[in-house]
Every structure is written in C-alpha cells, then in structure tokens.
Amino acid sequence: AAAEKGGFPSFMEKEINEQPAAVEQTLMGRTDPEGNLVLDELKIDEAVLRSVDKIVVVACGTAAYAGQVARYAIEHWCRIPTEVELAHEFRYRDPIVNERTLVVALSQSGETMDTLMAVRHAQEQGAKVVAICNTNGSTIPREADAALYTHAGPEIAVASTKAFLAQITAAYLLGLYLAQLRGNKYKDEIGQILTELEAMPAKIQQVIDAQAGVKELAQSMKDAASVLFLGRHVGFPVALEGALKLKEIAYIHAEGFAAGELKHGPIALIEEGQPVFVIVPSPRGRDSLHAKVVSNIQEIRARGAVTIVIAEEGDEAVADYANHVFRVPQSPVLLQPLLTTVPLQIFACELATAKGYDVDQPRNLAKSVTVE
Ligand code: G6P
C-alpha cells in the first residue's frame, strides 16, 4: 500500500502533489499546428454549438465548485449566460432547458447518480450534454452527447483534489473553444490565454513546494472549533471548496462566504481568535475588488479574527492586517483558483492528519455516490 501511495503518507497527499501533472495532462494535445484549440472529443455539431444561448453546469460536491469557478470564465469569454446548479436541485425545479441549452455535467467518477439523473432530464428536454469527466467509459460520459476527459489519473482519496483542478482546466478549454467557434471578441486572445494556462503547472508546483508554512499552521490549529473562508469573484467558490475540504476530512465546522456578504451577516460570527482564511484577488484585476477584500481583512482583524491570507507574490497591501500570509505566484485573475485552492487542500489534509484521522477514508462519505 505504501508503494501505491508513491511514498506519501496518504493518497490525498499524493494526489495534491500530482496536481501540476493533472493540469498539464488535461491541457495536452489540444492545439493544432496553427495554435487553434481543437477538442476532437467534442462530437456535437458545430452549428448546434453556435446556436447555444444558455449553458447550465450540473454537478455535486467539489465538482459543483469547479463549475462555479468555470462560470466566471465561460461567461466572460463566450458571453453566453451560464448557470451552475447542484444536479439534485436542477431537475426538481422544472428548469428552462431546450435545444439551445448546452448542459455541462461535471463529474470525476462519471457515476454520481444525482448528476446522471440531471443529464437524463436535460436530454429529455432536448438539450445537448457535454460531460467533463475523469473516468474513461463511465456512465455519465457514455450517456452524454460528448465527453471531454480530464486526465488527472485515478483519484483514490474520497476528498477530491487533483480532479478539481483538472475539471476547472477542462471547463476552461470548453469555454475557450466555444469562444473560438463563435468568433467573438475574445477570439484573438485565445492563444494568449492558452499560453497562460500552460504556465500553470509550474506555478502550481511552486505553491506545493512552499507548503511547509501551511502545514505548520495546520498543526497548530488542530483544536480549532470553526474556520471561516472568504473570497470574491473566482475566489468565492475557492472559499467554499476550502471549507468543504475541512468539513469532509477534519470534521471541523467550516463555512465559505462571498467576502462582499460579510457585512450582511457573517461578520457577526467574528470574535476574538476566530480563524478566517481570506482569498485575495489579484491587485492587477480590472476593478477594485482587491481593495475591497483588503478592507474586509482589516474589518475582521479589528474584531479579533486571526486572518490567514492567500495572496499573490508582491501584494504588499495585505501584510499589515494578516496574521499569516501564504503566497501564490502571479497569474491572470481567472486562473488564480488553480493556485489559491492548493494551500487550502494542504491545510485540510495536514490538520486532519494531525488529528489522527484517516484522510483518505473520511467517516460517512463515499468517493462516488451512486444512489439518489
Ligand atoms: C462525492 C465525493 C465528493 C465529490 C462528489 C461528486 O460526494 O465524496 O468528493 O465531489 O461525490 O463526485 P463526482 O464523481 O461526480 O465528481
């Protein structure tokens, strides 16, 4: 078993460390000699893809957070209204789905029953379904109209890590492909964005290489009763995923919030010693989100929170209000989740290990939930 884990103490730790390769493999072989994005697997008529007027992403758990991240990129690049819905909620609200809807089913296993039922429901309404999946030949990609595979390799640990990064990557490729196909204003930037995506594995590796500080903090926090996570824009689903990891494997109460929502409720939770992770958007972003999140850090710190800040290298504005700062390399805003998620995964894995739990087999959870 030790050999299977490649020398790591757990599959989860091994899989966290495999993330640069997971992203790299998912990107591999997707361009032609002219630099155009080719998604050979996407066997849906181009005319149909051009006529799409709405995208609905359906998924559960971590995959649903990957969908939430992807929505920001897909809407931005394609200008197609995009919704993300938990698969088990989607079907029961009589959703507006028709021949012009593209449903994207995100699933690591390809066997999640809730997601499969959402796929069937969408197809009954005439929608085309693209599955983004990590498991060759599993049920969801088989039933979908087309399948785009993530090449993260088998994921064994129940809590998803490398599949999450690969799902974001694949969903981004789909978004770029649709933008290319529809010839919109981002068409000329696609090559540049692909180059930036190709630079991500090395940057993910840098985050992994700098994990010692995160692990040390995790060990010191093993008695924490509750941990909060704040993020905005693509950092919001990252906050949700950071909280989910902690619930899943460390059994700690954890919640993620949109940082802008803080003043509308969650700030009431802040008291002396409350640990709060804050995912800080790039200071090079187009609008003033960075300044707003920095002021959130200031507000919670003034109320006694222990602030644990994930920020870009060179972002000095956060330093004054942060009890702990973990750095990620600079990247375009939309690609930041591929970096900012990693310290949160490492944190949860280390904290759960410090508590003596089996991180690969958390209580009450299954890797793939094949019942509704
Ligand atoms: C289970 C797992 C989660 C996973 C979710 C969706 O609940 O414990 O880690 O995110 O299913 O799985 P899928 O295979 O559809 O991505």
Using the mean position of ligand 1's atoms as its centre, give its distance from the Cα of residue 109 in Å. 7
Mutational test site, ligand 1, from 16, 136, 361, 368, max ligand atoms within 8 Å of CB: 368
Assessment of whether the complete model's pTM goes beyond 0.90: yes
361, with CB counted inside 10 A (0-12, 13-18, 19+), is middle
Ligand 1 atom closest to the CA of 59, numbered from 1: 15
Q: DSSP string spanning 100-137?
A: TEEEEEEESSS--HHHHHHHHHHHHTT-EEEEEESSTT
Closest residue by CA, ligand 1 atom 5: 61
Contact 151, 26 (CB under 8 A): yes
Using the mean position of ligand 1's atoms as its centre, give its distance from the Cα of residue 125 in Å. 25
- Residue 1 has a pLDDT of 65
Q: Does the model's ipTM exceed the 0.90 cut? A: yes
Using the mean position of ligand 1's atoms as its centre, give its distance from the Cα of residue 139 in Å. 14
Q: Which two tokens stand for residue 289?
A: 């989100």
Using the mean position of ligand 1's atoms as its centre, give its distance from the Cα of residue 134 in Å. 11
Nearest CA to 238 among 261, 257, 252? 257
- Residue 372 has a pLDDT of 87
Residues touching ligand 1 (Cβ under 6 Å) are 60-63, 107-109, 112, 115, 158-160, 365, 367-369
Mutational test site, ligand 1, from 65, 367, 372, max ligand atoms within 8 Å of CB: 367
Helix%, strand%, coil% for the chain, nearest 5: 50, 15, 35
Nearest CA to 277 among 314, 317, 224, 315? 224
E strands in 123-244: 128-133, 146-149, 226-231
Q: Which two tokens stand for residue 65?
A: 């957070």
CA 315 and chain centroid, separation:
23
Mutational test site, ligand 1, from 11, 62, 107, max ligand atoms within 8 Å of CB: 62
- Residue 286 has a pLDDT of 66
Tens-level pLDDT at each residue, the chain (372 residues): 677 899 999 999 999 999 999 999 999 999 888 888 989 888 889 999 999 999 999 999 999 999 999 999 999 999 999 999 999 999 998 899 999 999 999 999 999 999 999 999 999 999 999 999 999 999 999 999 999 999 999 999 999 999 999 999 999 999 999 999 988 677 778 889 999 999 999 999 999 999 999 999 999 999 999 999 999 999 999 999 999 999 999 999 999 999 999 999 999 999 999 999 999 999 887 678 999 999 999 999 999 999 999 999 999 999 999 999 999 999 999 999 999 999 999 999 999 999 999 999 999 999 999 988
Q: How far is the C-alpha of 33 from the C-alpha of 89, rounded, in Å?
A: 43
Using the mean position of ligand 1's atoms as its centre, give its distance from the Cα of residue 61 in Å. 5
